[in-house]
Every structure is written in structure tokens, then in C-alpha cells.
Amino acid sequence: MSYKVVRLPLTKEEISNLKPFDMLLLEGKLIVARDQAHKLLAILIEKNEPLPLELADQVIYYMGPAKKGNNLPIGSCGPTTAGRMDRFTPTLMDRGVKVTIGKGPRNQAVVESIIANKGLYLVAYGGCGALYATKVISQKVIAFEELGPEAILEIEVKDFPVIVGIDSQGNSIY
């Protein structure tokens, strides 16, 4: 098996052609957000207030980076458990998010949201935070800086390895 290089953002056609266990190398920009950022975004959506970023076609990586080191733009940046974001994911996907990246299974509401929004869930390899740090070209805080390591970041990646965990039809590796 070999990895397929894909440029972000993914097109609707690319998303529809991907299947569980497909191995990808991502290139382009991702949004990084975890629990607290998801909660704040959901509150803003519920209150119908402006969001600090555009969600349409976004790829969200569930990760909390370690402090920078070793002359890299980011410290260790492995995935966190996706299930912690499950209660927020359908809301964000309904607002345009197409792809989420994390580790572990998703609940049925998320699977249904992936199908309804023709999205994807990609799985990053747990325990590989140091490897992922070498795949990040740049990073910057774009929202909720006050959250520290849970602020929303934009990172640019190259050769960032993931596998398709749940495809746009709801087929799953789990």
C-alpha cells in the first residue's frame, strides 16, 4: 500500500472518492481546535454571533501542541481523542466544516453528520506527535488566543500522514 498525496482543501469529488483505510499525505492548511475552542464556537453559533474564522470547507485537526523546540515551527503535535468533540461536530459540519482529523471512533450523530454534509473523518496516528511536528511548515494563532494551547491555530502541513476513518457514505474502519 502507498500513500496518496492530497492538497487541501479537498474537493467534493476527492472526498467522494476516498474510502476507509485509504492512506493520505496531506498538503496545505489545517485548522487546529480542541475542546474549549469547539465549545466557544458552538456558543457563538447558538447565539447567532459572528465567528472568528470561516468554517466553509475547513479541515479541523484535534490537537494540542507542545511548546516549540528543535528549530521547528511547532512542538509535538499528535492527535487527541476525537470523541471529546463529538457533541460539537454536527453543528460545525452544518456550518461548513468538511473534514475532521483525530484519533479513535466517532459517535452515530457524527457519522450521520458526515453523511449529510458529504464530509470525512481522517485518523492521525496516535503516539506520533514528534513525527507530525516535522510535517508542519508554519503555524499561527487565528482565534481565542486567551485559551493558550487550546487556541485555534492555522497550520500548514506537507506530507502529513492520515488514513480515512469514515468516508462520505458513513463507511468506517471502526
Q: Which amino acid is at 5?
A: V
Residues with a catalytic annotation lie at: 38
Query: What burial letters (b/e) apply to 65-91, b meaning 16+ CB within 10 Å?
Result: beeeeeebebbbbbbbebbebbebbbb
**What are the distances in angstroms from CA 166 to CA 37, 129, 148, 159, 163?**
23, 22, 30, 20, 9
String of DSSP letters for 17-28: H--TT-EEEEEE
